[in-house]
Amino acid sequence: MRGVYTPVTKIRRKVFSEVARFAYEEKDFSEIDKIPYRIIPGEIARYRDSVFKERAIVGERIRLAMGLPVRSADRHAPLREGIEECATPETYYTPPLVNVIPFACEACPETAFYVTDNCRGCLAHPCTAVCPVQAVSIIDGKSAIDKDKCVRCGRCREACPYNAIVHFSRPCAKACGVDAIESDEMGRAKINYDKCVSCGMCLVNCPFAAIADKSQIYQLIRSMKEGAHVIAEIAPAFVGQLGPLAEPENIKPLLKELGFYDVYEVAAGADIGAVEEAKHFLENVPDKQPFLATSCCPSWASMAKKLFPDIAHCVSEGRTPMVVTAHLIKEKHPDAKVVFIGPCAAKKLEAMRKSVRSEVDFVITFEELMGMMAAKGITLGEDTEKEPFTDATAAGRGYPVSGGVAEAIIGAAKTINPGITIPTERADSLSECRKMLTLARAGKRNGYLLEGMACPGGCIGGAGTVLPTQKAATAIKKYKEQSEKKNATENPLLRQKDCADS
């Protein structure tokens, strides 16, 4: 469903814009109770069996967008319960970040095989012959699967000449690369937070809008309204995300119009990170460690440490581009607050780490930023001011597309050591990342640079993106080609950093 405007997309974006409007207009807390009625007007249900249920679900999404926890359906509580505690700019996310709204979940079967009307009741019926547990039989001339016997091996589906047997799985569970989606006692989806790495793939793949993450839109806007100098650092994946008229040179004026004091591109921090990881590779692989895995994707790095602790030391400890850029900003503006704007839900949790909190004050996604634009009535046109970014190279700007991180690191490494040859492998979903690390654990990737991305396509497929992945990749390629400097080592910020370090 990525890149397709559906009723789920519509509701999600309306929630963000209404919460942003609530913050900008500084209304009394009691006014929050009216928001569900603006998003779901009238008396006729449009999406579910009851308009009251629709508003109740929207109410929980509003609470999550305010940074509040989901409420239980078995007790009475006002929508604004707890809002006073979260209504200060200093409020950080409280776990869990990604949440299932239980009464919004349709309790889809976890996984099963079904016989469709394509079944022709053929004479051969190979489906019955290949089943190892005799779960498939012929009833009234058609194949039937006994769900109690079925072990879900899929052999019947493979054998059917009419493709009459299909595999059904929960969209949220199918999208989760760490098998964190389980079921509660009522068969509804439940997240196992010991496994979850907050990639957000479940929340953008649930067709019933039953999963949502928390937001800091309200706290961010309140901080700006209270006079803080809030500086935005925008992730390299921003290209094309804010609409067809949003050229890269329009973004800085646009964000300043929203109330941001200044705007930096995180691609500059990516350049610095690429050079740091290139040096680390050259100094340590393979003599001190068998391979080096990139660290800019927090979900991938977290998964590697959870599931592969014996090789977790091979994941780079380098600072992510978000943190590097925020550090540069705070050096120039020590009293400012920094907000990271990007495609990623997991960056919200990264910003909660004690080592990062002093650098990054807020994290919002591109979709949440669009909610702020809608609340302020800001649109882009041909007369929009232009102020191009000048701090990054093509290498750093290519980070959000699968393969871009490895390309930047190798480019830097070859500049430092022209004779080096670095074998690489990349994976751009957590399930593929697991396969890659399994091979690395077996010693089959020694000497490699491994690039891991939790989201399909890279950061451009993140949970907070707006543009279809392929269109985003094309837009970023064009932006890279327009960059004056190509290699990360050409970034002048590196010389400034070296001088500061010395």
pLDDT tens digit string along 85-123? 887 776 667 889 999 999 999 999 888 999 999 999 999
Domain count, the chain: 3
Asked if residue 160 and residue 119 are part of one domain, the reply reads yes
Cβ(331)–Cβ(338) below 8 Å: no
Domain range holding 127? 111-169
Asked if residue 138 and residue 13 are part of one domain, the reply reads no
Q: What are 279's two structure tokens? A: 């040096």
1 part of a folded domain: no
422 part of a folded domain: yes
Asked if residue 35 and residue 156 are part of one domain, the reply reads no
Asked if residue 131 and residue 98 are part of one domain, the reply reads no
Contacts 24+ apart (CB under 8 A), 125-133: 126/159, 126/160, 126/161, 127/156, 127/159, 127/160, 127/165, 128/156, 129/159, 130/155, 130/156, 130/158, 130/159, 131/155, 131/156
Cβ(212)–Cβ(16) below 8 Å: no
225 part of a folded domain: no
High-pLDDT (> 90) share of the chain, %: 87
- pLDDT of 357: 85
pLDDT tens digit string along 36-55? 999 999 999 999 999 999 99
The CATH number for 127's domain is 3.30.70.20
> What's the pTM?
0.93
- pLDDT of 76: 85
High-pLDDT (> 70) share of the chain, %: 97
- pLDDT of 1: 60
Asked if residue 290 and residue 210 are part of one domain, the reply reads no
Asked if residue 438 and residue 390 are part of one domain, the reply reads yes
Asked if residue 368 and residue 311 are part of one domain, the reply reads yes
Asked if residue 96 and residue 119 are part of one domain, the reply reads no
184 part of a folded domain: no
34 part of a folded domain: yes
54 part of a folded domain: yes
Asked if residue 364 and residue 328 are part of one domain, the reply reads yes
Asked if residue 154 and residue 90 are part of one domain, the reply reads no
185 part of a folded domain: no
Other residues' Cβ atoms within 10 Å of the Cβ of residue 9: 17
Q: Which residues of the chain have pLDDT under 70?
A: 1-2, 90-92, 382, 496-502
pLDDT tens digit string along 140-191? 999 999 999 999 999 999 999 999 999 999 999 999 999 999 999 999 999 9
Asked if residue 394 and residue 276 are part of one domain, the reply reads yes
Three-state helix/strand/coil letters over 112-179: EEEECCCCCCCCCCHHHHHCCCCCEEEECCEEEECCCCCCCCCHHHHHCCCCCEEEEECHHHHHCCCC
- pLDDT of 500: 45
124 part of a folded domain: yes
Asked if residue 440 and residue 296 are part of one domain, the reply reads yes
CA gyration radius, the chain: 25
